[in-house]
Every structure is written in structure tokens, then in C-alpha cells.
């Protein structure tokens, strides 16, 4: 008859779920049990019951409305929040700085030419690129910025807007060598025509292939859709991403971050930290105002019954009053060490604000560390405050440069290298440079290979860094090209050529070479 008291598996599961919701232990072991194998997937644990996110595509998880709000708040944080601006400009200054310099590196083996011929081509290509990149009238559709300045603008706009687009119109100008221009377009101007909703082939101004997801065209507004225009109505222009005949890049999309397959638009750099950033800014402003109020402590004086009204301060007698009427006293305001008179019968109530707050700095630093971790910026790099040891400061710089190097590589892939290839295309088409077999895609890639070198990382102790670089070269772990680019931002070839010219000039002028006095005793000792 014992089978009458048996409980079905379904009833056991229901009882276990009820016990978990009530915080009671289950038969599966103590109060820490879960109805799922992964505790993070539990829907019964009290700590997880209210965490119910939804699954969605990359487009749905970054909808048009939410992305617009994130962009607006990121731009406001860039303008008004100290930490927000610090994070964005830190990335701009370290990733781009004074500009990423193009050093052509023609693949001579793939082209079947000698190294000397490749060096000549590299020199010619670099000269043509310099003529184009350093003249705003050549490279910029607005004719205001060089290519190096455009790099910084594009990166800043992508960080605050999630992405930025670059059109490549063909504009002839008197006195210029080329007609390929780069026109930066903010993320707001790429949108669906007439605010129509997204569909299977159109997502926030990007028209794409529904089968492969490849972009086909973008819709560019002639203004900002959220701004009222009284002179001319808003219009949208459809611009193909690739040329129909040649495959030429007509539109570039510079991303801030692309984190998921199928993602069509990017999220701003500050998007994950906007909430703590706003709260920390309000807390910091409140503490600053409290400290100002504490510093502007004012003394109030109480009058007795025998106080003679004729002895009022001159500020109280600014306006003549009828006989027997109470005088109009000036408003009571805070001032730096001010003394304010009070009318008879009034009594001041003072309070000690106890500012500055001793706990402000530890709490601020704790939150700043979390924000920096989310942005891949150590707090020392974010605040430019290196107060710890040399090792800790150097570790912070190296960790930050991992992120800088990654973003520099993204910028090169999205903006710099395509710009260079467009310039070489036009140079070949205009006959300014001869590249046999350039129409072959494989040979074209061999001709347009280049290295982009940005500002050097710098060093806390340059002597230690130089000795470490020499040790890596001697041990065969690195080479002079890598170390020269990391320490000076220049290629080894340029450094060598310039150094050779300097040494030859010194010898021609019969000047003493550096370290010559130290080299002579060393040779004497070896002979002995």
C-alpha cells in the first residue's frame, strides 16, 4: 500500500519551485539549489527572478529610438561631463594624435620586381599621397581639413555617434591635382527617407541585400531630420556603396564598435557607462557646490531692542522711506567672509556643512575605476594621474595602448586605407604614376599595400625602454623596424637614411662623430 504515498516527478518539481520562491531549502541540497543546471539561467532564485532580458537581433537590440537617445546623451556627456570628455579626447589624442602617416609598402615579390624598384615606387606613391593628404582643398569636400585632421574628426564623431559615414564625391577644383574628395557625414544624416519605418531591405538609412546582409546603398539627408528648415525642404539622396561598373568605394562607414553579425549601425563609445557617468557627475557637482557654500560662510548680526535705526548701513538707505516705515534691507546673500546685518528681532540659524567631504575622493575613484574598466581605460590613463609606482604606471599605459592599437587598426581599415586606395586609383587613371597590370585585383592589392604609423607610445623612463628594446633585438625577439615604429613613430628605413646623411655630413665636415671617444678605448682593449 506504500505506492499510495508516492509523489509524481511533476509534483516534486512544483514543490521545489515553490520552495525556491519562498527561500526554503529543497531536497536537492540546501538553500543554494537551482531548478536549472546553470544558476545564471535560473528564473526562481530571488537574485535572478527580476532579470528577464529578451532575445533579439542586432537591429532590434539597438533600435532607432534607443540609439538616438544614446547618441544625444553621449554628445551631451562629451560637452558637459568631465569624465566623459576625458575618455573621448584621450582616445582621440592617443589613437590619431597628429595623424596616422602612410608609408607605402609595395609587395615586390607578388609583382615580380626587385626591392630597388619597389623602393622607387614607394617613394613615388608616398610623394603623391603627401600632395593629396596635406592639402585641405585636395582631400576634403569642405576644403577645411587635411586628411590627418579628418582622421581625428572621423574618430571623434564615430565615438560619440556610434558611426560616421564618408562619401567620396568627384569634385573638380581649380589649382588641384586630383578630384577625389572625402565628405564626412554625421550619423544623424543617414536615415530612412521621410521617416519611413525599417523593412526587410532598409535599416536606418542603409539599404542592404536581404540574403547576405551586404550594404547596397545609403540614404543621405541634405540636412538634420530633427532640425526645422525654413529655406528648403529636406531631401534624401540614394548613394550606392560600390560603383556598379568598377566596384569603386563610394561610401565608407567608420565604426565605433561592431559587436554582432548583421549589425547595421553602431552604438556610441560611452553608451555602457552613461548611467554611472551621469550619477557621478551630479555627485561631483553637488560636492563642489557644497564646498563652495562652506567656503562662503557668512556672519549674521542680531540687533537688540535699543538699536538705533538711524545707524543702519548705507545699503539699507538706498531708497527714502516714509516716517515710521520699516526700511527695505538688502537681500541676504552668501559672500566670501561677509557680515550681514539683520533687522531687530531676527535670529540667525547656522549649520556646519562639514566640507570638503573626506570620503569623496575614495568613492569617486572607485566609480571611475569601474567606468574606466568598461571603456578599457585604466583609471591612471583616464584621469592622467600617475601616483603609484613606475611598474604600475607602465602597466596602466601598456594596457591602455592595447585598446588604442585596436582602435587605430579599425580606423585604418575603415577610413585610412580605403582613402589611400582611392587616391592611387585616380593617380593611375590620370597617368601621374604608371603601375603595370593595375586593373588586376591581385596586383592592385600588391601595389596599394601600406603601413600606417601613428604617434609613438612614449615612455616613462626612456633609458629603460631603450635598453629593453635593444635586449629584445639582440635576443631575436624583435627587430629594428618594430622597435623604431613603437618608440619614435617612424619607419626604420627613414631613420636609417636620415642617420646616414647626418653621419656622412659630419665626416665630410671633419667633425667628430658621436661616441667616437668611447669607441676608441674599446678597440684598444680588444687589441690588447
pLDDT in tens, 283-339: 999 999 888 877 776 666 666 665 555 555 544 444 555 555 555 556 656 677 676
Whole-angstrom Cα distance, residue 218 to residue 254?
14
Is residue 400 one of the residues assigned to a domain?
no
Is residue 526 one of the residues assigned to a domain?
no
Q: How many helices (H) and strands (E) does the chain have?
A: 18, 11
Pick the more confident residue, 249 or 301: 249
Is residue 519 one of the residues assigned to a domain?
no
Mean pLDDT of 382-402: 90
State whether 99 and 167 are in the same domain: yes
Of 152-166, 235-249, 347-361, 377-391, give the lowest mean pLDDT range: 347-361
Is residue 216 one of the residues assigned to a domain?
yes
State whether 47 and 70 are in the same domain: no
State whether 34 and 117 are in the same domain: no
Q: What per-residue confidence (pLDDT) applies to 208?
A: 96
Of 73-82, 277-286, 294-303, give the lowest mean pLDDT range: 294-303
Asked if residue 244 has pLDDT above 80, the reply is yes
DSSP 324-340: TPPP-PPPP---TT-EE
pLDDT in tens, 23-60: 444 444 444 567 889 999 998 898 898 899 999 999 99
Is residue 335 one of the residues assigned to a domain?
yes
State whether 158 and 249 are in the same domain: yes
Count CB atoms within 10 A of the CB of residue 453.
20
Is residue 188 one of the residues assigned to a domain?
yes
Pick the more confident residue, 231 or 238: 238
State whether 77 and 196 are in the same domain: yes
State whether 227 and 249 are in the same domain: yes
**Could you give the maximum distance between any two Cα atoms of the chain, in Å?**
116
Contacts of 428 (CB under 8 A, 6+ apart): 434, 435, 438
Q: What per-residue confidence (pLDDT) applies to 189?
A: 96
Decide: residue 10, CB within 10 A, 0-12 exposed, 13-18 middle, 19+ buried. exposed
Whole-angstrom Cα distance, residue 299 to residue 349?
10
pLDDT in tens, 397-407: 999 999 999 99
SS3 state of residue 61: helix
Answer for the pair 140, 146: CB distance below 8 angstroms, yes or no: yes
Q: What per-residue confidence (pLDDT) applies to 11?
A: 60
How many domains does the structure of the chain reveal? 4
SS3 state of residue 392: helix
What H or E segment, with its residue span, contains residue 236? Answer: strand 236-240
State whether 153 and 187 are in the same domain: yes
Whole-angstrom Cα distance, residue 225 to residue 223?
6
Report, in angstroms and rounded to the nearest whole number, the Rg of the chain calculated over CA atoms.
34
SS3 state of residue 285: helix
State whether 86 and 225 are in the same domain: yes
State whether 342 and 292 are in the same domain: yes
Mean pLDDT of 147-173: 97
Domain residues for the domain of 103 are 62-270
Mean pLDDT of the chain: 85
State whether 115 and 197 are in the same domain: yes
State whether 235 and 127 are in the same domain: yes
Asked if residue 98 has pLDDT above 90, the reply is yes
Is residue 106 one of the residues assigned to a domain?
yes
State whether 48 and 67 are in the same domain: no
Mean pLDDT of 103-118: 94
Is residue 419 one of the residues assigned to a domain?
no
Q: What per-residue confidence (pLDDT) applies to 489?
A: 73
Please state whether the peptide bond connecting residue 356 to the residue before it is cis, i.e. omega within 30 degrees of 0.
Answer: yes
Percent of residues, the chain, with pLDDT higher than 90: 59
- Residue 280, φ and ψ in degrees, nearest 5: -65, -35
On the CB side of 389, CA atoms within 13 Å amount to 3
What H or E segment, with its residue span, contains residue 452? Answer: strand 450-453
Amino acid at each position: 500500500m506504500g505506492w499510495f504515498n508516492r509523489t509524481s516527478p511533476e509534483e516534486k518539481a512544483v514543490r521545489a519551485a515553490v520552495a525556491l520562491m519562498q527561500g526554503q531549502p529543497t531536497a536537492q541540497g540546501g538553500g543554494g539549489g537551482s531548478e536549472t543546471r546553470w544558476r545564471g539561467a535560473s528564473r526562481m532564485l530571488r537574485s535572478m527572478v527580476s532579470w528577464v532580458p529578451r532575445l533579439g537581433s542586432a537591429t532590434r537590440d539597438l533600435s532607432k529610438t534607443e540609439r538616438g537617445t544614446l547618441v544625444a546623451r553621449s554628445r551631451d556627456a562629451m560637452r558637459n561631463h568631465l569624465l566623459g570628455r576625458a575618455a573621448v579626447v584621450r582616445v582621440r589624442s592617443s589613437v590619431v594624435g597628429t595623424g596616422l602617416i602612410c608609408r607605402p609598402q609595395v609587395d615586390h615579390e607578388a609583382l615580380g620586381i626587385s626591392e630597388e624598384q619597389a623602393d622607387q615606387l614607394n617613394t613615388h606613391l608616398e610623394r603623391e599621397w603627401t600632395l593629396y593628404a596635406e592639402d585641405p582643398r585636395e582631400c576634403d569636400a569642405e576644403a577645411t581639413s587635411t586628411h590627418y585632421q579628418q582622421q581625428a574628426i572621423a574618430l571623434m564623431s564615430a565615438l560619440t555617434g556610434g558611426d560616421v559615414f564618408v562619401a567620396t564625391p568627384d569634385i573638380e577644383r581649380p589649382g588641384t591635382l586630383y578630384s577625389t574628395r572625402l565628405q564626412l557625414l554625421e550619423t544623424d544624416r543617414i536615415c530612412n527617407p521621410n521617416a519611413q519605418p525599417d523593412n526587410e531591405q532598409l535599416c536606418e538609412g542603409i539599404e542592404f541585400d536581404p540574403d547576405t546582409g551586404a550594404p547596397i546603398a545609403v540614404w543621405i539627408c541634405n540636412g538634420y531630420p530633427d532640425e526645422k528648415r525654413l529655406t528648403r525642404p529636406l531631401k534624401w539622396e540614394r548613394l550606392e556603396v560600390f560603383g556598379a561598373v568598377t566596384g569603386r568605394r563610394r561610401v565608407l562607414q567608420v565604426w565605433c564598435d561592431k559587436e554582432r553579425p548583421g549589425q547595421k549601425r553602431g552604438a556610441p563609445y560611452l553608451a555602457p557607462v552613461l548611467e554611472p557617468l551621469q550619477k557621478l557627475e551630479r555627485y561631483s557637482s553637488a560636492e563642489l557646490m557644497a564646498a563652495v557654500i562652506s567656503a562662503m560662510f557668512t556672519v549674521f548680526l542680531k540687533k537688540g531692542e535699543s538699536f538705533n535705526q538711524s545707524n543702519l548701513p548705507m545699503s539699507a538707505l538706498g531708497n527714502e522711506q516714509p516716517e515710521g516705515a520699516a526700511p527695505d534691507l538688502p537681500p541676504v546673500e552668501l559672500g566670501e567672509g561677509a557680515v550681514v546685518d539683520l533687522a531687530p528681532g531676527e535670529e540667525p540659524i547656522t549649520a556646519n556643512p562639514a566640507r570638503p567631504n573626506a570620503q569623496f575622493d575614495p568613492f569617486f575613484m572607485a566609480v571611475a575605476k569601474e567606468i574606466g574598466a568598461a571603456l578599457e581605460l585604466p583609471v591612471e590613463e583616464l584621469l592622467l594621474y600617475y601616483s603609484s609606482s613606475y611598474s604600475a604606471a607602465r602597466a596602466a599605459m601598456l594596457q591602455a595602448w592595447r585598446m588604442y592599437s585596436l582602435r587605430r587598426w579599425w580606423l585604418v581599415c575603415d577610413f585610412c586605407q580605403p582613402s589611400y586606395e582611392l587616391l592611387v586609383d585616380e593617380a593611375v587613371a590620370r597617368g601621374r604614376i604608371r603601375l603595370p597590370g593595375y586593373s588586376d585585383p591581385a596586383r592592385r592589392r600588391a601595389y596599394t599595400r601600406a603601413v600606417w604609423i601613428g604617434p609613438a607610445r612614449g615612455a616613462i623612463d626612456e633609458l629603460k625602454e631603450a635598453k629593453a628594446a635593444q635586449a629584445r633585438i639582440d635576443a631575436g625577439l624583435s627587430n629594428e623596424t618594430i622597435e623604431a615604429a613603437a618608440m619614435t613613430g617612424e619607419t626604420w628605413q627613414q631613420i636609417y637614411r636620415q642617420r646616414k646623411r647626418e653621419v656622412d655630413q659630419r665626416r665630410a665636415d671633419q667633425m667628430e662623430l658621436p661616441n667616437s671617444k668611447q669607441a676608441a678605448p674599446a678597440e684598444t682593449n680588444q687589441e690588447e
